[in-house]
Amino acid sequence: MMTPNQPHRRTEDPLNLRSLPLAEPPRDGWADVEAALLGQARRGRLLRVGGGLLAVAASAVLAFGLLIGNPGSNTAPATSESASALAQTTTEPVPAPLREPPIESLIAMSQQLENRIRAYRSGIGDLPSNVLVYQVELQDLIVQVDEELSATPDSPELWSQRVSLLLDVTRLYENSLRRDYYRMASL
């Protein structure tokens, strides 16, 4: 089968449509295209900064959780090594964040969100067209993050970005469900 990107072979042209001249565009559209690309780059930078901040915040929450989880300890906050040593020596169940480094949690969260989105999709099908635009935009951004992740798979910032984008997608579905519910309730 020919792939969609392959150039096509010549076919019959009984009406000689190929003789028509190329149509001239009414104006040069580069300025609009450039503006859209620059806007996208700016959003990407904001996302990266936001993702970085999210990763820092997540680390701070984990460190705080570590302190709360070990109230008897008067030493400095435990590192992941001391936490795993603690897990081996005590019989008490260790909170999940201590067992896994933050990146593993982010990956797990990302998988859970994907499962949730899949369930929403199979449950309610496609989103309304006015919301679909945002979903497509978010999916595009997720694809971009995935491409960057294929180059640097251990980047917590990128995984944070992925999680926040997936969260946005789930919110679109949840809002759609909520709207449907209210519509039904009003009948």
Partner 1 sequence: MPQTPFDIQLDDLTFARAKRGNLRACEQIFRAFQQPCFSVAFRICQCRETAQEVTQEAFITAFRKIRQYRGDAPFWGWLRRVVVNHAISTIRRDTRHDTVEYRDFHEPQAPQQEKLGLAMDLEAALGVLNAQDRAVVWLHDVEGYNHKEIAELFGKTESFSKTRLSRARGRLRDLLQPRQSTATGLR
Q: Are 78 and 70 in contact (CB under 8 A)?
A: yes
Question: Measured between alpha carbons, how far is 83 from 98 in angstroms, rounded to an integer?
Answer: 6
Q: Name the minimum Å distance from CB 52 to partner 1.
A: 19
Q: Name the minimum Å distance from CB 178 to partner 1.
A: 26
Give the CA-trace dihedral at 56, 58, 60, 61, to 10 degrees.
170
23/68 with CB nearer partner 1: 23
15/184 with CB nearer partner 1: 15
Which residues ranging from 1 to 40 are in contact with partner 1 (CB under 8 A)? 2-30, 32-34, 36-38, 40
Compute CA 48 distance to the chain's CA centroid, rounded to the nearest angstrom: 12
Q: Name the minimum Å distance from CB 179 to partner 1.
A: 22
Which residues ranging from 38 to 57 are in contact with partner 1 (CB under 8 A)? 38, 40-41
38/108 with CB nearer partner 1: 38
Q: Which of 85, 124, 133, 143 binds partner 1 (CB under 8 A)?
A: 143
Question: Measured between alpha carbons, how far is 131 from 123 in angstroms, rounded to an integer?
Answer: 17
Cα atoms found within 13 Å of the Cα of residue 180, Cβ hemisphere only:
11
Output the CA–CA distances (angstroms, integers) from residue 54 to 59, 62, 177, in the order listed.
9, 12, 28
Structure tokens at 27: 């104006």
Work out whether 140 is an interface residue with partner 1 (CB under 8 A). Answer: yes
Q: Name the minimum Å distance from CB 126 to partner 1.
A: 13
Question: Measured between alpha carbons, how far is 124 from 177 in angstroms, rounded to an integer?
Answer: 8
Work out whether 104 is an interface residue with partner 1 (CB under 8 A). Answer: no
Binding footprint of partner 1 on the chain (CB under 8 A): 2-30, 32-34, 36-38, 40-41, 140, 143-144, 147
